[in-house]
Structure 1
């Protein structure tokens, strides 16, 4: 799917990575005793593997080869585990050890440049993108709960794989886009809620003696600017200083707790609002799981 050429490029990298990573392919021989997995993670893995295999077969039929992905991102890399703090770091001890969780020296400024493709490589990448996502007018469209309009073609290998796997590609596109954006919609509603805005204003006043910032994201940007000309050791020290200050103020003002409480409320509200789409999404997933098992994907 692609809401724009930029979205297509990101999706292309993810799809290629999945294809190169290996697929549980086969014609089902020796797989007669397989059944639909019970755990959510195993079900997700099966659907991804099945879709990748169907995409790979489609690309082969169209005589398009998926090249090995090349990681060229210059974005800051996470450090210190996979902890997420959607409403500000609320653990001063963690902040003292890991800062914002960004690897020392990776400030998001500069970094390795994306290599420029030569004409032949660019043409091959475009051919792969066209085969995966389709060409021409994007026939499918839906609007997410955050207001984003997402469009997709129905003639690419990804669409074909979804049509085979789920039985109805248009319905899968609409429900999958909707369901996968509900968390973002809940977060958006939290950040606009008056109670959260009040807690955020308290946090801003609390952090002002260390650095003036209206929210934790602005504090990270301030660190990136300040660390730009520092060596790795001093940049890391500045990161920890800012992160500890953020965490102490988050604790003092209850910012994260307010965010989490409101997120639970808005998530329930959204799930009620989009109950029909959620039911359709579950039904299509069940269809895909049964198809994957029956056809040895």
Structure 2
């Protein structure tokens, strides 16, 4: 969960048989959330399934550009890999690479080149168009999240996740639990002690920031204004100091421990959703492994 909660705390069908009929079941027992590598495998499998479905409808589809495993890392609020920071800083150049890939997405060019009639057919094949069914989930805080579900996207998700309504509900609940415990973690004595140790360490090496978010925002502001080699070198130096101080303060391990502590307090009310989400993720990974290979 650390990577999932990164922003606020310490980070981190058309044609097949229903996946719910798959004989592969994972006991709910000590289920862990998927790692970054495992999540990428599922995402890549979804892209492959969408492509196969659209091809059957007579359309061309290019799978999303695949970054390497190293490039695809989720930094989280606490980044303590010094070697990665020395090479990539906070990932500004990787983000720029992703932005270029989005801007040059061949699927956008392809869709734009279709006739109006074919474009409408393409949209309906892709996600069911404007008439696709809507699924809903009530998330912590009382909000209701809606999503249209149709076409090849729905087929791909059904093949991977099985009961897409159950998956959507459990996933959205799990992903929105952060707001219920983030403030507790940020006030936790063990975490604040480690965070203060990180800040003192950073000040000693000339970076007067109160938390990793401030350091990263400062680097981001510089990279937005300049993509020069000098700016990137400064980003890398700051990221290395950040990661080194995080290690010295054990900020990641303490943050993970405290996050788990407060998340477990929510299990009486949300434990079923958490376990359902993780079980379905694991089953989706098993299916994904039959569809695509791992990234290099």
Q: How does 1:178-189 map to 2 (within 5 A)?
A: 178-179=173-174, 181=175, 188=182
Check the 8 A contact 1:79/1:102 in 2, yes or no.
Answer: no
Decide which of 65, 90, 102 is 2:91's aligned counterpart: 102
Q: Give the 3 Å change call, closer, same or farther, for CA 186–160 of structure 1 in structure 2.
A: same
- How far the C-alpha of 1:153 sits from its partner, in A, is 2.3
TM-score of the superposed pair, with normalisation by structure 2: 0.56
Partner of 2:137: 142
TM-score of the superposed pair, with normalisation by structure 1: 0.56
Partner of 1:15: none
Check the 8 A contact 1:108/1:224 in 2, yes or no.
Answer: no
Q: Give the 3 Å change call, closer, same or farther, for CA 236–159 of structure 1 in structure 2.
A: closer
Check the 8 A contact 1:175/1:277 in 2, yes or no.
Answer: yes
Q: How many Å separate the matches in 2 of 1:51 and 1:229?
A: 34
> Unpaired runs of 5+ in structure 2?
1-14, 289-296
Q: Give the 3 Å change call, closer, same or farther, for CA 154–213 of structure 1 in structure 2.
A: same
Decide which of 199, 203, 210 is 2:198's aligned counterpart: 203
- Asked whether 1:213 is paired with 2:209, we answer yes
- Asked whether 1:68 is paired with 2:62, we answer yes
Partner of 2:167: 172
> Unpaired runs of 5+ in structure 1?
1-24, 28-33, 293-297
- Asked whether 1:244 is paired with 2:234, we answer no
Q: Give the 3 Å change call, closer, same or farther, for CA 114–253 of structure 1 in structure 2.
A: same
- Asked whether 1:156 is paired with 2:145, we answer no
Pairs aligned (count): 251
Q: How many Å separate the matches in 2 of 1:156 and 1:146?
A: 31
Decide which of 128, 133, 148 is 2:127's aligned counterpart: 133
Which structure is higher in RCO with an 8 Å CA cutoff and minimum separation 6? Answer: 2
User: Could you say which structure has the larger radius of gyration?
Assistant: 1
Partner of 1:89: 79
Check the 8 A contact 1:109/1:224 in 2, yes or no.
Answer: no
Alpha-carbon RMSD: 5.4
Q: Give the 3 Å change call, closer, same or farther, for CA 120–237 of structure 1 in structure 2.
A: closer
